[in-house]
């Protein structure tokens, strides 16, 4: 039942405080938002919290992840955060999991054990995963993100439970996290990167994705970037220029007998002189652009110049701290005395760092050669990319960047401060409390702006309804209770799929690697394979079996009343294992199906009026109606910015924030560890 | 050199990317006083210590047994008779060893001679009564200290700022993408707390004025 008490007056009642103290909360992420969130949750009276985070603490976290101390660097974020919060409120029960939330053990059953899921994640992939788990387990999700001074909090999924069919109250559902498309990571046309860069980022991408990989990384890993997503097809001139650069991978290998200095100088000459001259020969490219100017290395760094510095391995006294390690790190800029990572290097400095970095990779870092992966925490890698990108910028007349700024661009570093995370966490707990109070109609999506927009910094907006064609929450969700040890695939097909669900051919069910289908056009051997699986119990089917918590995707082709084909239908079926059910004794009691199969819908392109009529029943019910409660003052929410803002502008902003967050992907090192 | 130590550059990396080295240097030079450590003041203290101010002094003589429930800087295991300011300053000092955090004995209300606020750039007075708020506001004006005061009760709260004659630079979003940023030097003159609280209703745009203003004014008059 949805409560119609007054918000926020209800928060002062004992009944509410009791609900808060009993609510089971899953906090995903113990980073910037996570630390603030855990603190605010226990201060607000929440006592049952599980926290999941796979990461370990780094020095650059300490400016905002205030539950961590210098001596915790290298330890588990989830474990240290849970201990710190327990010191604040010893009676709170905090369970820490140092793990990836995508692991199998955090299945539907795990999510089903919580009343609320609160996300403080740093990547889109994990966000999508949690969204799907929340949808399958029908647990409400509060999603959040921050970047610099800006942030957002949104509420998704089934916000109130309509647990028994006898309750007249329908389940209240908001859009899921994936109802609105998320911005894809930014890509650049390959022609711009290779032939005609005009922004610093173009040179950084070139240095990091193409050059770094080619010189130090795996050869097969060299990125071709994404030429498919280019807004315009390559011009003839671009194609000509690209053709000139084909088949040149071998030119980046060291020739037998070549000295390291000779090699690095040859690479420099090729990249910043001969390749540029070749580009200049494609005259069509430069009709409307400034021509690049090749660099003369002999002029910048004379061949017989004394080698810079006595040592190429310097412990950093100043400038480039390596964070966790006090040990000496290979650094080209330190060897050259360039200790200010905010300073702009001269052209000659860039050339020297370029040469020195190659030398260091060939000597002290030789073990990485052929397998190096760019990592923003790797000082030498950042130095090389900075120098290489700056030299290219100089050639093309683009402003150069400091080591600090290049590191941020190449590493997709998210700008972050404690205050923003604290505000966003406060907003998350506010939404959590509305959900605990069972007042989902009070829930809001909140935007935290850098500047007042137009008068307020925080803009709350009403939740959106589900997108009917959402691939995640669009398909109908059904639950099937059965004893997966005794019920067979044959029983499932005859009693449930063709029986109570009434699927029409062709139809198929899939669950990870397992698939079963029925279609008149099946090959004979396929039909035989399927027939052989029929007597097997559900849990013993291939691909891990249809055990407890398995999510089965179902697709079929229903017919309309007039016999014409309807729109293809997709559903999701969640299997719940009931060990004490004995189907042998009473086969009719073997399955219990909860949920209903959606009615056939005319195909897209059929009469519009018909379509709208069909959709009305399910999807156009106003989401957060007051349902007859007295109109109280609280109900009038002042939304100066949001109400006037067109929907697509909001969508764009959402996409922007999502993109910013998604950018802080795990570092390559971590990704490998996953 | 950019004027930050290696340790500062390592810890502050992510925020340097938000507000830049110049702002960080100015923060590192700042001296701030917080008087009264309710939950909201603890939150402020945490955020400015993480941001890396130079020095922070705390003033709150109440004993930990009576610590505000929202002050998460006082651990549950703190001795009941120890002082809130002392316990909070220890937590904050561990949170960021690059900041100098100290506790000053005395309670905000009991201080009669406010000359000790001289030398601070910013003072936050939290959860005090009206007389104390007015006194600190006047003293801050006299000593040129930026003054903030905050009250937070249940789900309502308000804060007041008196930055005296405040000069700042307004940065406007560039006209076109990649275009030059437009900056404009501005000054604003803040009213005193007394002027702000006891202003007449004449000229107030009632529909634009938060009803909390009238509530606060009523409470203040009653308290007086």
Q: What is the mean pLDDT of residues B51-68?
A: 95
Distance from CA of A3 to the nearest CA of B (A): 19
Across the interface, whether the CB atoms of A62 and B47 are under 8 A apart is answered no
Span A9-185+415-465+645-663 CATH architecture: 3-Layer(aba) Sandwich (3.40)
CA distance A584 to A340: 77
Q: Which of A417, A421, A633, A664 to mutate to test the interface with B (most CBs of B within 10 A)?
A: A417
Mean pLDDT of chain B: 91
Phi-psi region of A29 (alpha: psi -120 to 50; beta: other; left: phi over 0): left
Contact B47 A422 (CB under 8 A): yes
Average pLDDT over residues A83-106: 94
Share of chain A above pLDDT 70, in %: 78
Asked whether residue A674 carries a pLDDT value surpassing 80, the answer given is: no
Query: Can you read off the two tokens belonging to residue A378?
Result: 């790797």
Beta strands A150-158 and A173-174, pairing class: antiparallel
Tell me the pLDDT tens digit for each residue of A640-663: 233 333 333 343 444 444 334 333
Tell whether A8 is within 8 A of chain B (Cβ): yes
Pairing of strands A150-158, A141-147: antiparallel
Nearest partner of A44 among A144, A116, A112, A113, judged by Cα: A116
Most A-contacting residue of B1, B8, B12, B17 (CB-CB within 10 A), to test interface:
B17
Give the gap in angstroms from C-alpha A543 to the nearest C-alpha of chain B: 44
**Which chain B residues contact residue A342 at CB under 8 A?**
2, 21
B70–chain A Cβ distance below 8 A for any pair = yes
Whether residue B70 and residue A43 make contact (CB cut-off 8 A), yes or no, is: yes
Alpha helices in A108-157 (DSSP H): 108-112, 124-137
Distance CA A18, CA A381 (A): 54
The stretch B100-125 carries a mean pLDDT of 95
Average pLDDT over residues A196-213: 93
Residue A64 to residue B14, Cβ atoms within 8 A:
yes
**DSSP H or E segment with residue A642:** helix A640-644
Q: What does the pLDDT look like over A564-576, one tens digit per residue? A: 888 888 888 888 8
Torsion of CA B24, B29, B32, B37, to 10 degrees: 50
The answer to whether the CB atoms of B51 and A63 lie below 8 A apart is yes
**Residue from A512, A502, A581, A582 nearest A544 by CA:** A512
Most confident of the ranges A124-138, A223-237, A522-536: A124-138
Report the gap between the CA of A202 and the closest CA in chain B (Å).
14
Structure tokens given for B53? 């101010």
What are φ and ψ of residue B33, in 5° steps?
A: -120, 130
Q: What is residue A668's predicted lDDT score, i.e. its pLDDT?
A: 34
Residue B184: pLDDT above 50? yes
CB-based contact, B94 to chain A, within 8 Å: yes
Query: Count of CB atoms within 10 A of residue A323's CB?
Result: 18
The domains of chain B, with CATH numbers, are 6-163 (3.40.50.720)
3-state SS assignment for residue A244: helix
DSSP state of A381: H
* Best residue of A9, A63, A70 to probe chain B, by most B CBs closer than 10 Å: A63
Write out the two tokens for A566: 């309807």
**DSSP helix/strand/coil, B62:** coil
For tokens 């494609």, name the residue. A282
What is d(CA A458, CA A453) in angstroms, rounded to the nearest whole number?
A: 8
d(C-alpha A666, C-alpha A68), whole Å: 19
Report the half-sphere exposure of A28 (CA within 13 A, side-chain side). 28
| Per-residue confidence (pLDDT) for residue A232, from 0 to 100 | 54
All residues at 6 or more sequence positions from A671 whose CB lies less than 8 Å from its CB, including other chains: A665
Residue A170, pLDDT score: 60
pTM of the model: 0.80
Q: Which two tokens stand for residue A212?
A: 């770094």
pLDDT digits (tens, 9 = 90+) for A420-460: 999 999 999 999 999 999 999 999 999 999 888 778 899 99
- Cβ of B47 within 8 Å of Cβ of A416? The answer is no
Domain map of chain A by residue range? Answer: 9-185+415-465+645-663, 198-397, 476-608
Q: How far apart are CA B19 and CA A416, in angstroms?
A: 10
Residues B167-177 have a mean pLDDT of: 79
- The percent of chain A in helix, strand and coil, each rounded to the nearest 5, is 40, 15, 45
pLDDT value of residue A200: 95
Can you state the percent helix, strand and coil of chain B, rounding each to 5? 40, 25, 35
A476-608: which CATH topology? 3.10.290
User: CATH for A198-397?
Assistant: 1.10.10.520
Question: Residue A226 pLDDT more than 50?
Answer: no
Q: Which active-site residues of A does the annotation give?
A: 191
**Alpha helices, H only, A336-444:** 347-362, 379-396, 403-410, 418-436
The answer to whether A219 touches A247, Cβ cutoff 8 Å, is no
Which pLDDT value is given to residue A169? 55
Residue A613: pLDDT band with limits 50, 70, 90: very low
Verify whether the Cβ–Cβ distance A87 to B76 is below 8 Å.
yes
Q: What is the mean pLDDT of chain A?
A: 81
**A418-436 vs A32-43: helix crossing angle, rounded to 10:** 50
Q: Report the alpha-carbon distance of residue A482 to residue A290 in Å, rounded.
A: 71
pLDDT in tens, A382-434: 999 999 999 999 999 999 999 999 999 999 888 899 999 999 999 999 999 99
User: Could you tell me the two tokens for A384?
Assistant: 């090389």
How sure is the predictor about A253, in pLDDT bands with cuts at 50, 70 and 90? confident
Q: Rounded CA gap, A340 and A320, in Å?
A: 8
Largest separation between any pair of C-alpha atoms in chain B: 60
User: Is residue A221's pLDDT more than 70?
Assistant: no
Name which of B1, B12, B70 is nearest A63 (Cβ-Cβ).
B12
Identify the sign of the CA torsion A337, A340, A342, A343.
Answer: negative
The pLDDT-based confidence of A243 (bands split at 50, 70, 90) is: low
Using a CB-CB cut-off of 8 Å, the residues of chain B touching A12 are 154
B75 with A87: Cβ contact below 8 A:
yes
A633 touches chain B (CB under 8 A): no
Give bridge partners of residue A444 from the DSSP assignment.
A462
DSSP classification of residue B63: B
* Alpha-carbon gap: B16 to the closest alpha carbon of chain A (Å): 8
3-class DSSP string for A207-231: HHHHHHHHHHCCHHHCCCCCCCCCC
In 3D, which of A13, A85, A7 has the Cα closest to residue A43?
A85
Residue A243 tokens read as: 């053709």
Cα–chain center distance at A227: 23
């Amino acid at each position: 039942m949805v409560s119609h008490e007054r918000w926020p007056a209800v928060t002062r009642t004992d009944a509410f405080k009791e609900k808060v103290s009993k609510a089971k909360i899953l906090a995903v992420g113990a980073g910037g938002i996570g630390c603030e969130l855990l603190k605010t949750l226990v201060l607000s009276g929440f006592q049952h919290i599980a926290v999941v985070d796979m990461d370990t603490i780094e020095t650059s976290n300490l400016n905002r992840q205030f539950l961590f101390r210098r001596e915790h660097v290298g330890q588990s974020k989830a474990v240290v955060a849970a201990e710190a919060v327990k010191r604040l409120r010893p009676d709170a029960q905090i369970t820490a999991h140092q793990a990836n939330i995508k692991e199998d053990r955090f299945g539907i059953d795990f999510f089903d054990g919580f009343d609320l899921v609160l996300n403080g994640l740093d990547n889109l992939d994990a966000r999508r995963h949690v969204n799907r788990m929340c949808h399958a387990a029908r647990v409400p999700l509060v999603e959040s993100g921050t970047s610099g001074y800006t942030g957002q909090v949104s509420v998704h999924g089934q916000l109130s439970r309509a647990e028994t069919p006898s309750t007249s109250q329908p389940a209240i559902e908001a859009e899921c996290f994936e109802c609105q498309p998320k911005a894809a990571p930014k890509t650049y046309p390959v022609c711009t990167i290779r032939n005609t860069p005009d922004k610093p980022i173009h040179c950084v991408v070139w240095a990091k994705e193409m050059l770094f990989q080619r010189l130090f990384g795996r050869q097969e890993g060299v990125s071709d970037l994404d030429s498919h997503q280019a807004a315009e097809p390559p011009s003839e001139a671009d194609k000509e220029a690209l053709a000139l650069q084909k088949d040149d991978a071998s030119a980046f290998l060291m020739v037998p007998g070549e000295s390291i200095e000779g090699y690095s100088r040859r690479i420099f000459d090729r990249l910043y002189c001969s390749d540029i001259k070749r580009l200049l020969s494609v005259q069509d490219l430069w009709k409307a652009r400034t021509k690049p100017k090749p660099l003369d290395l002999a002029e910048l760094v004379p061949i017989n110049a004394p080698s810079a510095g006595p040592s190429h391995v310097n412990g950093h006294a100043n400038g480039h701290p390596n964070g966790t390690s006090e040990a000496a790190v290979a650094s080209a800029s330190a060897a050259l005395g360039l200790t200010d990572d905010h300073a702009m290097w001269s052209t000659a400095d860039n050339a020297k760092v370029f040469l020195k970095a190659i030398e260091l990779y060939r000597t002290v870092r030789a073990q990485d050669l052929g397998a190096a992966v760019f990592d923003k925490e790797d000082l030498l890698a950042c130095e090389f990319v900075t120098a290489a990108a700056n030299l290219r910028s100089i050639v093309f007349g683009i402003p150069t960047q400091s080591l600090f700024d290049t590191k941020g661009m190449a590493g997709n570093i998210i700008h972050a401060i404690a205050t923003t995370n604290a505000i966003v966490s406060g907003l998350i707990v506010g939404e959590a409390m509305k959900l605990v109070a069972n007042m989902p109609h009070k829930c809001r999506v909140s935007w935290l702006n850098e500047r007042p927009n137009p008068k307020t910094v925080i803009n709350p907006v009403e939740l959106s309804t589900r997108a009917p064609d959402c691939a995640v929450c669009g398909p109908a969700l059904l639950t099937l209770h059965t004893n997966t040890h005794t019920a067979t695939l044959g029983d499932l097909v005859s009693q449930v799929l063709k029986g109570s669900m009434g699927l029409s051919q062709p139809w198929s069910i899939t669950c990870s690697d397992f698939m079963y289908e029925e279609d008149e056009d099946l090959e004979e051997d396929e039909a035989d394979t399927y027939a052989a699986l029929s007597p097997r119990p559900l849990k013993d089917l291939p691909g891990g079996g249809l055990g407890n918590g398995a999510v089965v995707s179902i697709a079929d082709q229903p017919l309309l009343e007039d016999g014409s084909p309807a729109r293809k239908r997709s559903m999701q079926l969640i299997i719940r294992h009931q060990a004490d059910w004995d189907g042998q004794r009473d086969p009719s009691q073997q399955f219990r199906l909860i949920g209903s199969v959606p009615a056939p819908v005319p195909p897209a392109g059929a009469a519009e009026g018909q379509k709208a009529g069909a959709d009305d029943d399910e999807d156009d019910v106003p989401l957060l109606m007051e349902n007859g409660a007295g109109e109280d003052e609280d109900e009038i929410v002042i939304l100066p910015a949001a109400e006037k803002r067109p929907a697509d502008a909001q969508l764009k902003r959402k996409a922007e924030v999502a993109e910013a967050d998604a950018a802080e992907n795990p570092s390559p090192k971590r990704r490998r560890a996953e | 050199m950019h004027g930050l130590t290696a340790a500062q550059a390592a810890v502050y990396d992510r925020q340097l990317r938000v507000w830049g080295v110049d702002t960080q240097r100015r923060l590192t030079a700042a001296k701030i006083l917080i008087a009264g450590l309710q939950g909201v003041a603890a939150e402020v203290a945490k955020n400015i210590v993480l941001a890396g101010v130079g020095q922070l002094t705390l003033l709150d003589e109440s004993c930990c047994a009576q610590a505000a429930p929202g002050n998460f800087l006082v651990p549950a295991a703190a001795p009941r008779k120890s002082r809130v300011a002392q316990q909070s300053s220890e937590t904050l000092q561990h949170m960021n060893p690059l900041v100098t955090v100290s506790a000053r004995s005395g309670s905000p209300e009991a201080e009669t001679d406010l000359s000790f606020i001289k030398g601070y750039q910013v003072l936050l007075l939290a959860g005090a009564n009206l007389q104390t708020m007015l006194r600190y506001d006047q003293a801050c004006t006299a000593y040129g200290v930026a003054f903030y005061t905050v009250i937070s009760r249940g789900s309502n709260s308000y804060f007041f700022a008196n930055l005296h004659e405040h000069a700042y630079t307004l940065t406007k979003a560039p006209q076109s993408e990649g275009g030059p940023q437009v900056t404009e030097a501005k000054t604003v003159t803040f009213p005193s707390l007394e002027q702000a609280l006891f202003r007449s209703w004449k000229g107030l745009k009632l529909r634009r004025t938060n009803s909390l203003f009238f509530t606060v004014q009523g409470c203040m008059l009653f308290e007086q």
